[in-house]
Amino acid sequence: MVERRPLGTLISHLILIAGVAIVALPLYVGFVGSTLSFDQVTTVPMQLTPGTQLLENYATVLTHGSKLASGAPVGTMMWNSLVMALAIAIGKIVISMLSAFAIVYFRFPLRKTVFWMIFLTLMLPVEVRIFPTYKVVAELGLVDTYAGLTLPLIASATATFLFRQFFLTIPDELAEAARIDGAGPMRFFVDILLPLSRTSMAALFVIMFIYGWNQYLWPLLITTREDMYTVVIGIKRMVAGGDTLVEWQLVLATAMLALLPPAAVVLVMQRWFVKGLVETEK
Amino acid sequence: MEKRVIFRSRWLPYALVAPQLLVTLVFFFWPAVQALYQSLLVQDAFGAKTQFVWFDNFKDLFSDSHYLASFKVTAVFSILVTVIGLAVALLLAVFADRVVRGAKAYKTLLIWPYAVAPAVAAVLWVFLLNPTLGIVTHLLRAIGYDWNYLLNPRQALALIVIAAVWKQISYNFLFFLAGLQSIPKSLIEAAAIDGAGPARRFWTIAFPLLSPTTFFLLVVNIVYAFFDTFAIVDAATSGGPVQATSILVFKVYQDGVQALDLGGSAAQSVVLMAIVITLTVVQFRFVERRVQY
């Protein structure tokens, strides 16, 4: 603050509180809805204080899902989402680190080509190559498998560039010292680069976990069996049944369950989240 | 930039890039080439006959009034999402930058929607704005405004704009806040001593200095509105009523999965690819300039 303006400060707080309230409104109403019974949630207007059905609704969706829709248990879907998010996050970090290491610390004839090929993937998001990619995955027999869910999303130009950028800032003396001490490239990678990259890895992990957990279009295409649905797809299948038949209290409980893990990751790892967000977009 | 110290090995670098390249070739380049090739073909409904038709699919596409309408919807949608999203986020960031007390709490409370899946955001807003049950619908009715996004095309568009903006505000907010905090305090203080009030200081100092951030966010938000909002459209309105919210990405999916028009869908993919490439080039040109700046 440059000068004291009590009125200005008050207005600032009021605007921020209004912002926070609007941002929180869907979450709050959604949460309240997930604690009500079917009759309560379909009463107009719905009550705005939490009801008593919290445990019951959450237990129902985790074990049986919504009977009026598919009846697939959300517990299984949460597991699928977790596997998918972890595989994508860890997979991306591993393959990007390895290729960034090769690009930065080696000179080989196809280096430039490899770099540009990775760069080009930035221009091919899933949305624009949906069907051909689906066909490839189907021909490989990967429909309804975890490999089919994760592999096509695992290549990442942004992660590779992030690690490349970071490796370039590491002093040459470290690699020199390692070489003088007789360490080979992989030894250098494991003992020196890996520990130094911990913050970048944490930052990327947060961003990629959220990216993986929130995937929609790809799992929608690639999962046909209910036991392979991710939780985000499960919600969509629950509301797709038509207006009057939607068990909103269960849909909302599922929505709360679906947003809890990524939200927790953002809040608990906030520092790395901000770092990851800012750095991957550079 | 190049490293001075490097390692030597004939095979190791290839082994290191192999996983990345394999995934890229199989799941990125091969499908992209297929899309390009497919866009030049016409296939009958049973997949029995395939004919090479050069650019007929594109000609059909750009003479198809539905496709042109979808372009228009996408343009309106992305302009609304980008402008509203940036304006609201900038407003909040400016005030969050001013306050001392509770600054961290506000930040935490404003960034969590980033973690919410677009489809989940859509479902939460659909619940609030549901024509029969929605609590906001109820309030709107109470003040005499009839809200039913299932029947009214404009309201359907408004619904997906609201959900898309809500989801994106946290991202824009973080970047604006970081941008504001990197403005040297001495500039602001000098202006204050010269008698410039907060509004004047914002428009003459902070806003121009934020322009790199704003431009970057502009591109990112357009990309977001074009491609990452598929889930919102699919979960909230499914493109309806009467195609009013059928944005380009949604139409590719609809024409491919539901109408099984593979050639037309592939041609649409190619058009989208051209759009992404343009946007990426714009973005990188700009990043280069920012580095020099």
Mean pLDDT of chain A: 86
Total-model pTM: 0.89
| B267 dihedral zone (left: phi>0; alpha: psi -120 to 50; beta) | alpha
CA dihedral A54, A60, A63, A69 (to 10 degrees): -130
Our CA-based measurement puts residue B284 at a distance from the nearest CA of chain A, in whole angstroms, of 9
Q: What pLDDT is stored for residue B130 in this prediction?
A: 87
Alpha-carbon distances of B140 from A33, B128, B214, rounded to whole Å: 19, 11, 34
Of A127, A135, A185, the CB nearest to B227: A127
Of A2, A117, A217, the CB nearest to B21: A117
Per the CB < 8 Å rule, is B21 touching A99? yes
Tell me how far apart the alpha carbons of residues B240 and A128 are, in angstroms, rounded to a whole number.
Answer: 21
What averages of pLDDT result for each successive group of 10 residues across chain B (293 residues)? 78 91 89 82 65 76 84 93 95 90 87 91 92 87 86 91 94 92 88 87 89 87 89 87 86 80 80 84 66 37
Residues 6+ apart with CB under 8 A from A45: B135, B138
Per the CB < 8 Å rule, is B16 touching A44? no
Residues of B in contact with A41 (CB under 8 A): 133
ipTM of the prediction: 0.89
Our CA-based measurement puts residue A202 at a distance from the nearest CA of chain B, in whole angstroms, of 16
Tokens 């941008």, located at residue: B179
CA dihedral B218, B223, B225, B231 (to 10 degrees): -150
Q: What pLDDT is stored for residue A98 in this prediction?
A: 94
Q: What pLDDT is stored for residue A183 in this prediction?
A: 86
Q: What pLDDT is stored for residue B89 in this prediction?
A: 95
Tokens matching residue A90:
């860890």
Is the bond preceding B241 in cis, omega lying within 30 degrees of 0? yes
